Amino acid sequence: MSTAKKFAGQTALYGLSTIAGRVLNFFLTPVYTRAYSTKVYGIFGNMYSYASMLNALLAFGMETTFFRYMNKRPENKDVVYNNSFGAIFTISIVFLVLTFPFIGDITAWIKIDATTPFNEYVQYTRYFIGILIIDAWCVIPFAKIRADGRPGRYGTIKFINIVIFVGLNLFFIYALPYATRHNLPGTAWVNSWFKHGWLGYVFLSNLIASAATLLMLLPELLKLRPKFNWKLFTEMLVYSWPVLIANFSFIINENLDKILLGKLLPIKDSATQVGIYSACYKISIFLSIFINAFRLGAEPFFFNHAKNKNASQTYARIMEYFVIAVCLIFLALVANIDLLKYFIKGRGTQTALYWSGLGVVPVLLFGYVSLGIYMNLSVWYKLTDQTKYGLYISGIGALLTIVLNVIFIPSYGYMASAWVSLIAYATMMVLSYVWGQRNYPIPYNLKKNLTYIIISVILVYLSFSVFKRNIFVGNALLLLFAAGGYYMERKQLKAIFNRQ
**Tens-place pLDDT, residues 177-226:** 999 988 888 888 988 899 988 999 999 999 999 999 999 999 999 999 87
Instruction: Give the per-residue pLDDT at 236.
Output: 86
Q: Report the alpha-carbon angle 405-54-153, nearest 5.
A: 120
How far apart CA 61 and CA 88 sit, in angstroms, is 9
| pLDDT tens digits for range 453-485 | 999 999 999 999 999 999 999 999 999 999 998
- Higher-pLDDT residue of 66, 23: 66
Identify whether the C-beta of residue 330 lies closer than 8 Å to the C-beta of residue 15.
Answer: no
Mean pLDDT of the residues in the chain: 87
Average pLDDT of the segment spanning 22-35: 81
Instruction: Give the per-residue pLDDT at 382.
Output: 79
Structural domains of the chain, count: 1
Q: What is the DSSP string of 274-309?
A: HHHHHHHHGGGHHHHHHHHHHHHHHHHHHHHTTTST
CA dihedral sign of residues 378, 380, 385, 391? negative
pLDDT at 500 over 50: no
Q: What is the DSSP string of 375-437?
A: HHHTHHHHHTT-THHHHHHHHHHHHHHHHHHHHHHHHHTHHHHHHHHHHHHHHHHHHHHHHHH
Identify whether the C-beta of residue 463 lies closer than 8 Å to the C-beta of residue 469.
Answer: yes
- The Cα-based distances of 221 to 93, 142, 217, 469 in angstroms read 17, 10, 6, 50
How far apart CA 380 and CA 302 sit, in angstroms, is 10
pLDDT at 30 over 80: yes
Lowest mean pLDDT across 14-28, 158-172, 434-448: 14-28
Identify whether the C-beta of residue 356 lies closer than 8 Å to the C-beta of residue 276.
Answer: yes
Torsions phi, psi of 127, nearest 5? Answer: -60, -45
pLDDT at 279 over 70: yes
Number of H helices, E strands in the chain: 24, 0
Instruction: Give the per-residue pLDDT at 433.
Output: 94
For residue 377, give its domain range. Answer: 3-498
How far apart CA 363 and CA 351 sit, in angstroms, is 21
How far apart CA 142 and CA 161 sit, in angstroms, is 13
Torsions phi, psi of 216, nearest 5? Answer: -70, -20
**3-state helix, strand and coil shares in percent for the chain, rounded to the nearest 5:** 85, 0, 15
How far apart CA 188 and CA 4 sit, in angstroms, is 60
| pLDDT tens digits for range 123-152 | 999 999 999 999 999 999 999 998 887 878
How far apart CA 39 and CA 96 sit, in angstroms, is 29
Identify whether the C-beta of residue 384 lies closer than 8 Å to the C-beta of residue 439.
Answer: yes
How far apart CA 163 and CA 209 sit, in angstroms, is 8
Three-state DSSP class for residue 265: coil
What one-letter code names the amino acid at 63?
A: E
Average pLDDT of the segment spanning 85-90: 91
Average pLDDT of the segment spanning 371-393: 85
Lowest mean pLDDT across 83-92, 123-132, 146-155, 441-450: 146-155
pLDDT at 380 over 90: no
Taking the CA atoms of residue 149, residue 153, residue 159 and residue 164 in that order, the dihedral angle to the nearest 10 degrees is -140
Taking the CA atoms of residue 318, residue 322, residue 325 and residue 330 in that order, the dihedral angle to the nearest 10 degrees is -170
- The Cα-based distances of 383 to 65, 304, 372, 392 in angstroms read 11, 10, 18, 16
